[in-house]
Amino acid sequence: MAFGVRNVPVIARGDKFVFGQNLEDVAEFVGLQGTGHTPLPPEELIKRWIIVLRASQRFVRQLPDDKLLARVIDNRDRSIRLLSHHVFRIGEAFLESVEGGTEYAIQLANVPPAEGTYLRGTEIAEYGETIIHRLEKWWQNLQNKTCTQKVKTFYGDQPLSQLFERSTWHSAQHVRQQTAVLERLGIEPNERLKPESLAGLPLPERLWE
């Protein structure tokens, strides 16, 4: 707080600090020669992201509507409804930044749906369809597909490719969690995500991190 920072994670040393969202920045800050991670190319990221979002649509359609307001896990106040909406809201927040110039603030992807909306799995899946369509259209119309152009984020100006990768694995992590929710309810997920669909994404090792 003495640095004037109100968001975590932050890595600090002496009177200097760096946000922890970009691990390449963290590696440089602590004196390492990179993280050793090789990001997937943008043309592969868009394919993976669509695969992930399609899986989320399948899974949310399987969720009983009367379970959507239940907690995802007991020790966190987030409903299955909010988690499922969030998977697609991540994509919408990404588009607001890369198309509309909105700074990617820490809460941008966490904007919840209006109260009384998206109370059925089919409605969340339909919302997801609009986001998938917008992402596909954005990619089709993108002139510089190297994604080296900068976007504004709460952790500094970042290459578009970095936010692109972050958004892709962020959605994927929550789809992994949706899979666990279905299993807990005794429902076999419809066409699980294949390991090769997640390979190369810097996902957390643990399911609830």
Phi/psi of residue 52, each to 5°? -65, -45
- Res 64 pLDDT > 80: yes
Q: What is the mean pLDDT of residues 93-105?
A: 94
Q: What is the mean pLDDT of residues 88-114?
A: 94
Give pTM, 2 decimals: 0.86
Lowest mean pLDDT among 27-31, 69-73, 148-152, 161-165: 27-31
Residue 181: other Cβ atoms inside 10 A: 22
- The residue that leads in pLDDT, 2 or 177, is 177
Q: Looking at residue 124, what is its pLDDT?
A: 98
Q: Looking at residue 126, what is its pLDDT?
A: 98
Q: Looking at residue 34, what is its pLDDT?
A: 63
Q: Quick check: bond before 9 cis, omega within 30?
A: yes
Start-end of CATH 1.20.120.450 domains in the chain: 42-198
For the CA atoms of 172, 176, 178, 181, what is the dihedral angle to 10 degrees?
-170
Identify the CATH number of the domain defined by range 42-198: 1.20.120.450
Q: From 27, 28, 8, select the one nearest 19 (Cα to Cα).
A: 8
- Res 200 pLDDT > 80: yes
Q: What mean pLDDT value characterizes the chain?
A: 90
